[in-house]
Amino acid sequence: MKQIQCKMFGHDYHVTRNVTYHVKEYTCSRCKKQLTTNSNGHLTELTPKFKEINDVLERIHYKRDKKSRSKKSYSKLLVFKH
């Protein structure tokens, strides 16, 4: 029944995971089909290979974002007056 609704009305995708600012994972609320954004920005089916790639991308993105935020906070703390 759920697949019939998707065939007639189209999928109802919702973001289930933000991997980076540009890469996200989506799931259809009706049929539970999972998609992700590929390197060209198009949606592709979420395979185990893409799942692993997204895990690595998320780790790298988190580390870089964390490092850049810590550098910004240090630059604000150093104030020199003459």
Q: Tens digit of pLDDT for each residue in 58-69?
A: 999 999 888 887
At 32, the amino acid letter reads K
Give the CB-side neighbour count of residue 14, counting CA atoms within 13 A: 6
How much is the pLDDT for 78?
59
What range defines the domain where residue 55 resides? 2-64
Nearest one of 56, 57, 37, 34 to 47, comparing CA atoms? 34
Residue 14 falls within a domain, yes or no? Answer: yes
Counting as low any pLDDT under 50, the low residues of the chain are none
DSSP 12-23: -EEEEEE-SSS-
pTM: 0.75
Give the CB-side neighbour count of residue 16, counting CA atoms within 13 A: 16
Residue 47 falls within a domain, yes or no? Answer: yes
Residue 30 falls within a domain, yes or no? Answer: yes
8 vs 30: CA distance, rounded Å:
12
Residue 74 falls within a domain, yes or no? Answer: no
What is the number of domains present in the chain? 1
